[in-house]
């Protein structure tokens, strides 16, 4: 076992490790310190040093957070800090066991980004078209494709050149777990991708998907294709050109907008599950709020007793 240290020094040593080994920022260190200081006070009130706390004390602490009205997200963050702290103690030989191993964290509701409106998506495409050089057609192509198909960023950048056929309305996509699915694409998206290919081809040269590369969206990166970072930056530039907040625009936001707009226009969850490539319908059910809103609107607009001015029977 390690030499005994004053209780506060264990926390200090943990923070020093975060700074030295993980390059944690000052704000991150301050947040960890605040979380561990709060637990230190709780453990001390129960006659226990912070580095000696058992699972029962930790459970009682989490229960107190809930009773105090803290959100599940905040409680989950504090539990994460405690887990990392106790793993550090075990690694350093201060403890032989990790009392956080069997603790269940608070269930945090899965959140979704705020979808763009249909008008904002059109504005984003127009902004993308204003980017200079070949970046304009490329930006239009990725926005059109992400929005019309709901592809994940990882799926889009890894599309092979052969995925695009000028006369095909479907593309084969390899999703999570290596599973393939066919995804329909719009005529606009197909034409935008062909235009992007043409824009990066040499004048007078023959144009074909990928422009000679094995990838549909090639780049000079080590991977040979557009990277996630490059894709994100391209969308941010398009957002700025469109006068939109770039923080609101990302591949995931366009995927969410695709799903939300489909549901808003009458699609069902099972069809959406197939289109998004979700292995489990439970994953798709995070969109039930969008569906519920559509159903409320449907009743409000079409149910005879929901209309204003309808006399009672």
Is residue 23 helix, strand or coil?
coil
The single residue listed with the structure tokens 């005994």 is 4
CB atoms within 10 A of CB 41: 10
Annotated catalytic residue: which of 22, 46, 176, 296? Answer: 176
Annotated catalytic residue: which of 95, 152, 190, 200? Answer: 152
Query: Catalytic: 176?
Result: yes
Query: Catalytic: 261?
Result: no
Query: Catalytic: 302?
Result: no
Query: Catalytic: 252?
Result: yes
Task: List the structure tokens of 66.
Answer: 């809930």
Query: Catalytic: 287?
Result: yes
Among residues 171, 168, 147, the alpha carbon closest in space to that of 158 is found at 171
Query: Catalytic: 152?
Result: yes
| 206: alpha, beta or left? (left if phi > 0; alpha if psi -120 to 50) | beta
- Between CA 105 and CA 255 the distance in angstroms is 29
Annotated catalytic residue: which of 32, 61, 147, 287? Answer: 287
- Between CA 66 and CA 276 the distance in angstroms is 35
Annotated catalytic residue: which of 95, 200, 255, 256? Answer: 255
Q: Known catalytic residues?
A: 152, 176, 252, 255, 278, 287
């Amino acid at each position: 076992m390690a030499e005994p240290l004053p209780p506060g020094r264990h926390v200090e040593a943990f923070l020093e490790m975060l700074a030295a080994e993980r390059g944690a920022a000052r704000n991150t260190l301050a947040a960890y310190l605040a979380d561990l200081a709060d637990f230190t006070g709780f453990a001390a009130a129960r006659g226990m040093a912070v580095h000696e706390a058992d699972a029962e004390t930790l459970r009682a602490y989490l229960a107190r957070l809930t009773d105090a009205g803290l959100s599940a997200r905040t409680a989950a963050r504090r539990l994460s800090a405690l887990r990392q702290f106790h793993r550090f103690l075990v690694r350093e030989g201060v403890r032989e066991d990790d009392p956080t191993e069997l603790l269940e964290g608070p269930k945090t509701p899965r959140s979704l980004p705020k979808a763009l409106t249909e008008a904002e998506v059109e504005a984003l495409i127009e902004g993308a078209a204003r980017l200079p050089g070949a970046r304009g057609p490329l930006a239009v192509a990725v926005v059109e494709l992400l929005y019309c198909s709901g592809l994940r960023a990882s799926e889009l950048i890894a599309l092979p050149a052969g995925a695009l056929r000028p006369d095909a309305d479907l593309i084969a996509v390899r999703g999570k777990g290596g599973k393939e699915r066919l995804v329909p694409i719009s005529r606009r998206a197909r034409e935008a991708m062909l235009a992007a290919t043409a824009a990066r081809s040499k004048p007078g040269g023959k144009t074909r998907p990928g422009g000679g590369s094995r990838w549909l969206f090639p780049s000079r990166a080590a991977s040979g294709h557009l990277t996630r970072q490059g894709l994100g930056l391209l969308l941010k530039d398009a957002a700025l050109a469109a006068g939109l907040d770039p923080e609101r625009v990302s591949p995931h936001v366009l995927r969410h907008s695709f799903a939300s707009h489909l549901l808003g226009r009458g699609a069902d969850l099972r069809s959406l599950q197939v289109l998004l490539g979700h292995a489990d319908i439970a994953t798709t059910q995070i969109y039930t709020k969008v569906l519920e809103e559509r159903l409320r609107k449907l009743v409000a607009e079409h149910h005879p007793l929901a209309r204003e001015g309808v006399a009672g029977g």
